[in-house]
Amino acid sequence: MKRYLKHYINGEWVESTGSETTEVINPATEEAFGEISLGTKEDLDKAVQAARDAFPHFSQMPKEERVKMLEDIAEEYNNRKDDIIDTITEELGSPVEVSEKVHFMMGYNHFAQAAESLKDFPFIEEYEGHTRMKEASGVSGLITPWNFPTNQTSTKIASAFAAGSPVVLKPAEQTPFAAFILTEIFDKVGVPKGVFNLVNGTGEVIGDGISSHKDIDFVSFTGSGATGEKIMKNAAENITNIALELGGKSPLIVLDDADVKDAARTALTHITNNTGQVCSAATRTLIPSSMKDEFEQAIKDVLPEFKVGDPHEGNHMGPIVSQKQWDTVQSYMEKGTEEGATLLVGGPGKPEGLEQGYYAKPTVFTDVDNDMVIAREEIFGPVMCVLTYDSLDEAIEIANDTEYGLAGYVYGKDEEKLRKASAGIRAGRVKVNDTKADFAAPFGGYKHSGIGREWGDHGIEEYLEVKTILGYPQ
Ligand code: ADP
């Protein structure tokens, strides 16, 4: 039976005031498995009103109760584990193991971390001469993309709930069913009426409506730079506060003392995890010129470890999310050769035997110049550019020669060089070697990669205003 998704407004599942719907396609089968009701501005207004009505009470809810609410959500989220994994595999096409170890776990960690961060969060701070009070800024509008259906939604919602801000969420049309499960979870644990509202719809209607809404006080968006720009312009009309998490073209600097095979494996992991549909993925691998031949051979040697295919059959990489995105990725693969880069492995077209489904081949270009389009634009697919450098200073210069600044990666052994490269990269997050994620650490970008920080304490701060009180009775 096809799934069908309505809106959730003021604690009730409701039909849209309009009649339009859109199908949700499973990218591995190219078949529609569900349908969502496309919301109207009227639906959005109702959701915003419900959130406004919930604000006075929710923003004053004692911190301990909000901690408990987040812990209950994390627990119930765990209870829905199988459903969440199945749903993400179906709507995004990610391999079951990735749906579990990446998507499911990230969502869980955001709720658990928000509860932890909230316990000691300094809502009131006394200074000599003044008191600082932090309070929820109001109603938050959240707009999320399709590539991490539980991660992007959960980090925003968990931070908003921790801060005491009611929300209106518009998930991506391609992957809306993970948000449906989250909504059921909030409903089950008794999140107060109006505190969480889900309005499905297009970016043009609901996304645009959220970013230009007079009664929304803060907009948090994750997605493309072009859409981020529109959201910022809309928000400017009402002086609405915003956070934007946009694209990246992150560098991976491989040091000359790195194990070449391990470095090649890490580089390929970046472009194949989630089928390369990761804003913080390293897509420009910078290697010492002296390592070129050895590195190219290592890529060929480890490539068979990165199997592409059916998400249910233990493969490492599933399909790309949609036909539209597949076409975009293909055009970049063609562009690389046109620009004069050398195609080392992969390239345009579907992998052998995978004609049905939006599958693509892990693709590596060598002899890439940092001025080429494939080195400058975010491709959002399994495509790596390999560039060479002759000194660490040059590597850092190439790493920073980009309009983006979301992430950077350094791989090797020499501690001094690891420190120098980490400090030199201008990006919001630098990872040394294959370090694990830390959900308490801030995440966000420099330059065109965005504004603001999510995750942990910094995430909560986004949803707060700071009030200075002079002469507060002590
Ligand atoms: P993509 O092109 O990969 O889908 P987008 O940045 O367009 O990336 O999409 C991210 C989110 O932004 C989705 O929820 C989408 O519906 C929404 N969106 C798209 N266009 C707009 C817009 N003009 N205003 C606000 N949100 C939008």
Whether 150 and 98 have beta carbons less than 8 Å apart is answered as no
Indicate whether 1 pLDDT > 80: no
pLDDT for 66? 98
Ligand 1 geometric centre to CA of 306 (Å): 30
Give the atom of ligand 1 at the shortest distance from the alpha carbon of 172. 14
Whether 122 and 425 have beta carbons less than 8 Å apart is answered as no
Q: Taking every pair of C-alpha atoms in the chain, what is the biggest distance, in angstroms?
A: 74
Three-class SS state of 241: strand
Give the atom of ligand 1 at the shortest distance from the alpha carbon of 170. 14
Q: Is the dihedral of CA 424, 427, 433, 438 positive or negative?
A: positive
Choose among 266, 265, 224: nearest CA to 248.
224
Whether 284 and 366 have beta carbons less than 8 Å apart is answered as no
Query: Mean pLDDT over residues 10-27, rounded?
Result: 96
pLDDT digits (tens, 9 = 90+) for 76-132: 999 999 999 999 999 999 999 999 999 999 999 999 999 999 999 999 999 999 999
One-letter amino acid at 276 equals G
Ligand 1 geometric centre to CA of 418 (Å): 37
CB atoms within 10 A of CB 233: 11
One-letter amino acid at 61 equals M
Q: What whole-number distance in Å separates Cα of residue 178 and Cα of residue 309? A: 22
| ipTM value greater than 0.90 | yes
Ligand 1 geometric centre to CA of 391 (Å): 40
Residue nearest to atom 22 of ligand 1 (CA): 203
Query: Mean pLDDT over residues 198-212, rounded?
Result: 98
Q: Is the dihedral of CA 55, 56, 59, 64 positive or negative?
A: negative
**Which residue among 153, 227, 448 has the greatest number of ligand 1 atoms within 8 angstroms of its CB, and so is best to mutate?**
227
Tell me how far CA of residue 265 lies from CA of 62, 125, 304, 365, 436, in angstroms: 48, 47, 11, 15, 16
Q: Report the mean per-residue pLDDT for the chain.
A: 97
Burial 28-55 (b: 16+ CB within 10 A, else e): beeeebbebbbbbbebbbbbbbbbbebb
Question: What are the catalytic residues?
Answer: 245, 279
Ligand 1 geometric centre to CA of 48 (Å): 19
Q: Which residues contact 119 (CB under 8 A, 6 or more apart)?
A: 63, 67
Whether 222 and 459 have beta carbons less than 8 Å apart is answered as no
Give the atom of ligand 1 at the shortest distance from the alpha carbon of 210. 25
Give the atom of ligand 1 at the shortest distance from the alpha carbon of 174. 4
pLDDT for 30? 98
pLDDT for 3? 85
Give the atom of ligand 1 at the shortest distance from the alpha carbon of 227. 6
Q: What whole-number distance in Å separates Cα of residue 295 and Cα of residue 258? A: 11
Burial 287-304 (b: 16+ CB within 10 A, else e): bbeebeeebbebbeebbe
Ligand 1 geometric centre to CA of 225 (Å): 10
Ligand 1 geometric centre to CA of 32 (Å): 21
Q: What whole-number distance in Å separates Cα of residue 427 and Cα of residue 96? A: 31
Q: Which two tokens stand for residue 69?
A: 């609410």
pLDDT digits (tens, 9 = 90+) for 125-183: 999 999 999 999 999 999 999 999 999 999 999 999 999 999 999 999 999 999 999 99
Choose among 385, 390, 360, 387: nearest CA to 374.
385
DSSP 463: T
**Which residue among 92, 143, 326 has the greatest number of ligand 1 atoms within 8 angstroms of its CB, and so is best to mutate?**
143
Ramachandran class of 349: left when φ > 0, alpha when ψ lies in -120 to 50, beta otherwise = left
Residue nearest to atom 21 of ligand 1 (CA): 203
- Enumerate residues lining ligand 1, CB below 6 A: 143-145, 170, 172-173, 202-204, 207-208, 211, 223-224, 227, 230-231
User: Helix/strand/coil (H, E, C) string of 20-55?
Assistant: CEEEEEECCCCEEEEEEECCCHHHHHHHHHHHHHHH
For tokens 């068979």, the residue is 304
Ligand 1 geometric centre to CA of 242 (Å): 15
pLDDT digits (tens, 9 = 90+) for 277-320: 999 999 999 999 999 999 999 999 999 999 999 999 999 999 99
Q: What whole-number distance in Å separates Cα of residue 85 and Cα of residue 195? A: 26
> Exposed (0-12), middle (13-18) or buried (19+): which is 215, by Cβ within 10 Å?
middle
pLDDT for 473? 84
CB atoms within 10 A of CB 132: 15
Tell me how far CA of residue 116 lies from CA of 110, 255, 342, 429, 451, in angstroms: 10, 37, 49, 22, 24
